[in-house]
Amino acid sequence: MKLCAFIRPASLSAAHENLRELGREGMILAGGTALHFMQDHTPVTAVDIMSLGLSFIREEGDYYNIGATTSLADIQRYRAPRWAMHEICRRISTHQIRNISTIGGNICRVFPWADLPVILLAMDARMVIYTGSDEEEFPADEYFKEQPAKRFLDGNILTSVKIPQLKAHHGFGSIKVVRAEAAFAQVTIAALLELDGSTIKTARVAAGGAIPFPRRLPSVEAALGGQQANEETFKEAAAQADADVTWRGREGMTPEYSRHLAEVTIYDALERAAAFARGRNE
Ligand SMILES: Cc1cc2nc3c(=O)[nH]c(=O)nc-3n(C[C@H](O)[C@H](O)[C@H](O)COP(=O)(O)OP(=O)(O)OC[C@H]3O[C@@H](n4cnc5c(N)ncnc54)[C@H](O)[C@@H]3O)c2cc1C
């Protein structure tokens, strides 16, 4: 993208109107870090949404509401009982990038290496989109079914992300494997377990990295439901790593190695989730 003009609207509705008028010649600008990867020369007018009051983290009922322009650094620093979002944020790129990048920017145009979609899929988050007259909510499964950028072509703006608060019987674990500090993920896995005593009631497991687009792993989840939360179950579930996806070779890895790494990482994320549920998370 080639930024040729810059607008800083005073309100959400003004931003929506600007974007509607500009059509394909307009572009929402949050942290602007994705421009590093969008290096075609299409001329666009940037509509800066950073001063619209969308930077916040609030506890609201049984979920956390994170404003779309909240930086990854602020999410990393935030603390609350059974808060789990900081774990992945501190593994994304560098301090400098995390200070500028926003949660909205990370999930409105999803790059293959994006880590937050993996987390939000496992956590069953809901995305709130301003449509000009209304706000609409989309569950993560629907929102990440395809490239979300398609949802924002007609002036719509992501305003916040709602993350269910983890209850005492919930455990969450996320692991990002990198070859070098601040690198893109070789594999990112996130797991949410709902336990009933030592039995797994429900499981949500999502993956990203060496696959084209972040997604859930239903065969892994099916191998967990109704089983005991122990090493044997986690091993059997992790062995389903390639039942739903074809792992690609990237970052110098062969496809076989990616698959193996995914299996090991799924196991580790499940162990971490179980430890979280038992109150042993750091
Ligand atoms: C060197 C480098 C390494 C990185 N490594 C990783 C990594 O390993 N893992 C990872 O997850 N991320 C990583 N990132 C960050 C990621 O790739 C994106 O650059 C970043 O998340 C975008 O956030 P932003 O706020 O800068 O968004 P912007 O660049 O401002 O916007 C990104 C896109 O989203 C749209 N958009 C932004 N906000 C909204 C909104 N509220 N509503 C609708 N559309 C919106 C914009 O129009 C644009 O298309 C890295 C970035 C860099 C520069």
Chain mean position to CA 107: 6
Task: Convert the pLDDT of each residue in 82-106 to its tens digit.
Answer: 999 999 999 999 999 999 999 999 9
Task: Convert the pLDDT of each residue in 218-245 to its tens digit.
Answer: 999 999 999 999 999 999 999 999 999 9
Task: Convert the pLDDT of each residue in 25-73 to its tens digit.
Answer: 999 999 999 999 998 889 999 999 999 999 999 999 999 999 999 999 9
- Paired residues of 40 in beta bridges: none
Give pLDDT, residue 94.
96
192 lines ligand 1 (CB under 6 A): no
**DSSP of 63-114:** EEEEETT-BHHHHHH---TT--THHHHTTSS-HHHHHH-BHHHHHHS--TT-
Q: What would the mean pLDDT of 111-119 be, rounded to a whole number?
A: 96
Give pLDDT, residue 1.
86
28 lines ligand 1 (CB under 6 A): yes
Index of the ligand 1 atom closest to the CA of residue 178: 8
Residue of minimum CA distance from atom 49 in ligand 1:
109
Confidence bin at 280 (pLDDT 50/70/90): low
The C-alpha atoms of residue 91 and residue 20 are separated, in whole angstroms, by: 36
Q: Could you tell me how many residues make up the chain?
A: 282
The domains found in the chain, sorted by start residue, are: 2-48 (3.30.43), 57-164 (3.30.465.10), 171-277 (3.30.390.50)
118 lines ligand 1 (CB under 6 A): no
Indicate whether this model's pTM tops 0.85: yes
Is the Cβ–Cβ distance between 278 and 170 less than 8 Å? no
127 lines ligand 1 (CB under 6 A): no
Ligand 1 midpoint to CA 70 (Å): 12
Average pLDDT score over the chain: 95
Is the Cβ–Cβ distance between 68 and 161 less than 8 Å? yes
29 lines ligand 1 (CB under 6 A): yes
